[in-house]
């Protein structure tokens, strides 16, 4: 027996079979850290730390690094649980950034004090692996970039039941960002910023907020139409959906702008009809106006779009600043009982996490089984677009939207001097949109949510 086993082993070796033995499952490892001092003052500094996981997905992590100058001390950190022992600083994930996919990133930051020259920390490790910016284990397969974008995978979208569905008729959720008013922030929408949005943020969607008033469309219809079209093309080139937002706000009755809406949508729908990446949002936030007046507007504007672009999804704003009526003391039943007479449409819901909480979430939970909903705009802050970020409420909202597969766009991918903006003031004057140093607290939170894998169904 012993001899036979020995013989078998010899034969196996001779046949080269040992190399076919089941390979040990070696976890792919590797990480990259971008460290930026975002501001420095006498004796103190603030730094951004962007982690990129180059290894297998992890569902819990600790980043460690060494402060080289004995005078450097951690004061306070965010987006992780921070501590310092001797010269070693540790940052452990919090719940919402616990998982890091392969290629996934998360942005942390901290403030500290220093006495010497404030040198850059070193010896960064993630779960004990040195962050050299290289992959230590096996390389993940390189997916075909052309077909691996959101539009490449999902193709022409349509509404199926209460869901947004892809070309395989399977429900999907799109997660992305809204521009600020393009009349004010055009400097923020360029090749570098949209590359960052598509590649670093892995955003599925760019909402193009074209205000009608406030120095917007009404002042230069041809100019704004062509600007919107060029943003549609820039999103398409990067495989992102483009949500064309006719950003009515004041006055709140969309019928005030109905002739402009018909002219604008006839033009953009004809020009973009053959594209798969376009979604139309016909009225941002109706307010001070009845549902029946909004419905009347929708039933006049939708046929104009359909005549030129029959298969695109169209989103209708709702009463009370697109709150499904809640901010006007009503609720979704007025829509359920009297829906817009059209197919392939969805209804907009907007919220600002610090202002709109449990009763609004309860409305969305209820309405989601009856109406196709799309959160075309939301903020992490108060409804003014400023104030403190409400992380608890934002997380509750985004968890709910993920669970219900409701698509969303965050206000705003801009460097506006307000807490809802994702980029720090001045970012759009430069060319860096990728490092963690350019993100606000809201931007870091949203990027960490949006950049997780989509897992779109492909059959």
Only segment of 135-143, 236-244, 326-334, 382-390 that touches ligand IDC (CB under 6 A): 382-390
Q: Give the nearest distance from C-beta 333 to ligand IDC in angstroms.
A: 23
Binding residues for ligand IDC, how many (CB under 6 A)?
Answer: 15
Q: Give the nearest distance from C-beta 104 to ligand IDC in angstroms.
A: 29
Residue 124 to residue 130: CA distance in whole angstroms: 6
Q: Is the dihedral of CA 442, 445, 448, 454 positive or negative?
A: negative
Q: Is 332 designated active site? A: no
CA-based end-to-end distance of the chain: 52
107 forms part of the interface with ligand IDC (CB under 6 A): no
- Comparing CB distances to ligand IDC, the nearer of 420 and 451 is 420
Say if residue 389 is exposed, middle or buried (CB neighbours under 10 Å; 0-12, 13-18, 19+): buried
Q: Give the nearest distance from C-beta 93 to ligand IDC in angstroms.
A: 31
Q: Is 285 designated active site? A: yes
Residue 329 to residue 320: CA distance in whole angstroms: 8
Catalytic one among 332, 377, 418, 441? 377
Residue written as tokens 């990446």? 277
Buried b (16+ CB within 10 A) or exposed e, 110-144: bebebeeebeebeebbbbebebeeebeeeeeeeee
**Residues across the chain:** 459
Only segment of 60-68, 219-227, 288-296, 378-386 that touches ligand IDC (CB under 6 A): 378-386
- Comparing CB distances to ligand IDC, the nearer of 257 and 284 is 284
Q: DSSP labels for 224-274?
A: HHHHHHHHHHHHHHTT-EEEEEEE--SSS-GGGGHHHHHHHHHHHHHHHTT
Residues 2 and 17: beta-carbon distance below 8 Å: no
Using CA atoms, how far residue 406 sits from 244, 346, 442, in Å, is: 18, 11, 20
- Comparing CB distances to ligand IDC, the nearer of 242 and 421 is 421
Q: Give the nearest distance from C-beta 440 to ligand IDC in angstroms.
A: 13
Which x/- pattern over 228-247 shows residues binding ligand IDC (rule: CB under 6 A)?
--------------------
284 forms part of the interface with ligand IDC (CB under 6 A): yes
- Comparing CB distances to ligand IDC, the nearer of 418 and 441 is 418
- Comparing CB distances to ligand IDC, the nearer of 49 and 381 is 381
**Count of beta carbons in the 10 Å neighbourhood of residue 46:** 17
- Comparing CB distances to ligand IDC, the nearer of 58 and 294 is 294
Q: Give the nearest distance from C-beta 320 to ligand IDC in angstroms.
A: 11
404 forms part of the interface with ligand IDC (CB under 6 A): no
416 forms part of the interface with ligand IDC (CB under 6 A): yes
Q: Which of residues 321-360 bind ligand IDC (CB under 6 A)?
A: 321, 350, 352
Element of type H or E holding 361: helix 358-367
Q: Which of residues 154-213 bind ligand IDC (CB under 6 A)?
A: none
**Cα 424 to chain center, whole Å?**
17
Residue 57 to residue 28: CA distance in whole angstroms: 9
249 forms part of the interface with ligand IDC (CB under 6 A): yes
Residue 452 to residue 175: CA distance in whole angstroms: 10
Select the residue interacting with ligand IDC from 214, 233, 253, 402 (CB under 6 A): 214
**Count of beta carbons in the 10 Å neighbourhood of residue 103:** 16
Catalytic one among 236, 281, 285, 418? 285
Q: Which residues are catalytic?
A: 285, 377
Q: Which residues bind ligand IDC (CB under 6 A)?
A: 214, 249, 284-285, 321, 350, 352, 377, 383-385, 411, 416, 418, 420
């Amino acid at each position: 027996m012993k001899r036979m086993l020995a013989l078998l082993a010899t034969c196996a070796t001779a046949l080269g079979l040992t190399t076919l033995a089941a390979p040990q499952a070696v976890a792919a490892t590797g990480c990259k850290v971008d460290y930026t001092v975002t501001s420095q003052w006498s004796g103190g500094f603030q730094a951004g730390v962007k982690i990129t996981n180059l290894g297998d997905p992890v569902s819990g992590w600790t980043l460690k690094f060494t402060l080289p100058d004995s005078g450097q001390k951690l004061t306070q950190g965010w987006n992780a649980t921070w501590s310092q022992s001797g010269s070693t600083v540790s940052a452990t994930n919090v719940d919402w950034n616990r998982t890091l996919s392969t290629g996934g990133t998360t942005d942390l930051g901290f403030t500290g004090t220093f006495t010497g020259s404030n040198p850059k920390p070193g010896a960064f490790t993630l779960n004990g692996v040195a962050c050299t910016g290289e992959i230590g284990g096996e390389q993940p397969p390189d997916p075909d970039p052309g077909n691996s974008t959101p539009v490449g995978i999902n193709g022409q979208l349509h509404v199926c039941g209460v869901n947004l569905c892809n070309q395989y008729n399977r429900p999907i959720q799109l997660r992305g960002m809204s521009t600020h008013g393009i009349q004010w922030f055009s400097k923020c929408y360029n090749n570098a910023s949209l590359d960052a949005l598509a590649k670093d943020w892995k955003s599925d969607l760019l909402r193009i907020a074209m205000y009608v008033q406030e120095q917007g469309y009404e002042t230069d219809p041809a100019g704004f139409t062509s600007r919107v079209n060029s943003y549609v093309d820039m999103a398409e080139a990067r495989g992102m959906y483009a949500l064309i937002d006719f950003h009515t706000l004041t006055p709140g009755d969309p019928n005030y702008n109905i002739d402009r809406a018909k002219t604008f949508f006839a033009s953009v729908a004809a020009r973009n009809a053959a594209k798969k990446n376009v979604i139309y949002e016909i009225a941002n936030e109706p307010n001070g106006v009845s549902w029946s007046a909004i419905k009347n507007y929708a039933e006049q504007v939708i046929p104009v779009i359909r005549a030129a672009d029959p298969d695109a999804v169209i989103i209708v704003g709702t009463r009370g600043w697109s709150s499904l009526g809640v901010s006007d003391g009503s609720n979704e039943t007025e829509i359920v009982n009297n829906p817009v007479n059209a197919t392939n449409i969805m209804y907009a819901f907007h919220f600002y996490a610090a202002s709109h909480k449990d009763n609004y979430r309860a409305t969305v939970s209820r309405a989601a089984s009856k109406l196709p909903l799309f959160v075309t705009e939301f903020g992490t802050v108060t409804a003014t677009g400023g104030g403190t970020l409400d992380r608890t409420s934002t997380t509750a909202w985004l968890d709910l939207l993920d669970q219900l597969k409701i698509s969303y766009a965050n206000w705003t991918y801009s460097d506006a001097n307000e807490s809802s903006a994702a980029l720090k003031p001045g970012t759009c004057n430069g060319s860096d949109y990728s490092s963690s140093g350019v993100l606000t607290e809201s931007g870091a939170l949203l990027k960490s949510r949006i950049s997780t894998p989509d897992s779109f169904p492909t059959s």
